Amino acid sequence: MLYMVIETFKSRDAATLVYARFAERGRMLPNGLEYVDSWVEDGFGRCFQLMETEDASLFDLWIANWSDLVDFEVIPVTNSAAAAAAIKQQ
């Protein structure tokens, strides 16, 4: 299943600290939670990450590594083609 993760940096400095931690430790994803792609808002206030997993509880493990710097919103999503097919079948 796909998830859109909206990361809101807790402070202006948090964005810098997030990138420094990432450079040092990597994404720190537990096995079974896969990074797909990401986009960063102009001004570095938020990051939007597309993630994939069959076990949503893995987000708790990952978020624990970053929650001092970032607030998270995890939203289950589907791509447009799959959504259109599901609507068509209703």
32-53 tens-digit pLDDT: 999 999 999 998 899 999 999 9
Measured in whole angstroms, the distance separating CA 12 from the mean position of its chain's CA atoms is: 19
Ordered structural domains, the chain, with CATH: 2-89 (3.30.70)
The more confident residue out of 6 and 86 is 6
pTM value? Answer: 0.89
Task: Kindly report the backbone phi and psi dihedral angles of residue 58, in degrees, each rounded to the nearest multiple of 5, phi listed first.
Answer: -65, -25
Banded model confidence at residue 71, pLDDT cuts 50, 70, 90 = very high
Distance CA 85, CA 24 (A): 42
Q: What is the rounded average pLDDT for all residues in the chain?
A: 95
pLDDT at 86: 87
| pLDDT > 90? residue 65 | yes
